[in-house]
């Protein structure tokens, strides 16, 4: 009887812990999407859309950049990210949200989410010639057989 009661307490504790993790995950995503909405959606739309000739797509494209160190750096050094008012932690969360929500199929198998420390180390200074750097990164991705686009 005592053993069954002890097991019951352990199971309840694990269930509560799993519920708390799910709630934390939902809160994290809600906060990240709120920050995206307030800081990024004006240009990239509600779901990471592109604007022909001006703004590259984030949806089903951003994940390809995670296949190389240069691509990973590029993502947080473009002026919109580098110069945003978001903290390093908030920027990591927004970028991870975009990658995990809209780019999961494009991510490398060994993908690691951005951390605030990584964003702090990479984000500044912003690239001054984004188009040239993007072309170099996309060329490297295409050389690896990835379907990255030069176009916006």
128-147: pLDDT as tens digits = 999 999 999 999 999 999 99
Residue 96, CB-side half-sphere exposure with 13 Å CA sphere: 20
Q: 0.85 cut: is pTM over it?
A: no
Spans of all domains in the chain: 21-144
Of all residues in the chain, the percent with pLDDT exceeding 70 is: 82
Residue-level pLDDT at 98: 96
**Which candidate, 57, 74, 147, places its Cα nearest to that of 114?**
74
The residue-averaged pLDDT of 45-53 equals 86
Average pLDDT value for the chain: 87
Residue 8 has pLDDT above 60, yes or no: no
Rounded to 5°, angle at Cα 50 from 137 and 27? 95
Residue-level pLDDT at 149: 84
Residue-level pLDDT at 74: 97
The residue-averaged pLDDT of 106-113 equals 98
Instruction: For residue 147, give Cα distances in angstroms to 19, 42, 128.
Output: 39, 27, 25
Residue 52 has pLDDT above 50, yes or no: yes
Quick one: 110 exposed, middle or buried, by C-beta within 10 A (0-12, 13-18, 19+)?
exposed
84 or 17: which leads in pLDDT: 84
Domain covering 21-144, topology: Cytochrome Bc1 Complex; Chain D, domain 2 (1.10.760)
117 or 59: which leads in pLDDT: 117
């Amino acid at each position: 009887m005592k053993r069954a009661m002890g097991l019951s307490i352990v199971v309840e504790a694990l269930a509560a812990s799993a519920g708390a993790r799910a709630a934390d995950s939902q809160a994290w995503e809600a906060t990240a999407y709120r920050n995206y909405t307030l800081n990024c959606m004006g240009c990239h739309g509600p779901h990471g859309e592109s604007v022909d000739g001006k703004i590259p797509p984030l949806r089903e494209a951003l994940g390809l950049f995670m296949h190389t160190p240069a691509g990973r750096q590029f993502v947080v050094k473009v002026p919109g990210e580098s110069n945003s008012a978001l903290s390093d932690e908030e920027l990591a969360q927004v970028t991870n949200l975009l990658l995990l929500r809209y780019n999961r199929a494009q991510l490398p198998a060994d993908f690691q989410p951005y951390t605030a420390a990584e964003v702090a180390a990479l984000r500044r200074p912003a690239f001054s010639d984004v188009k040239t750097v993007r072309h170099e990164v996309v060329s490297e991705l295409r050389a690896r057989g990835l379907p990255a686009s030069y176009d916006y």
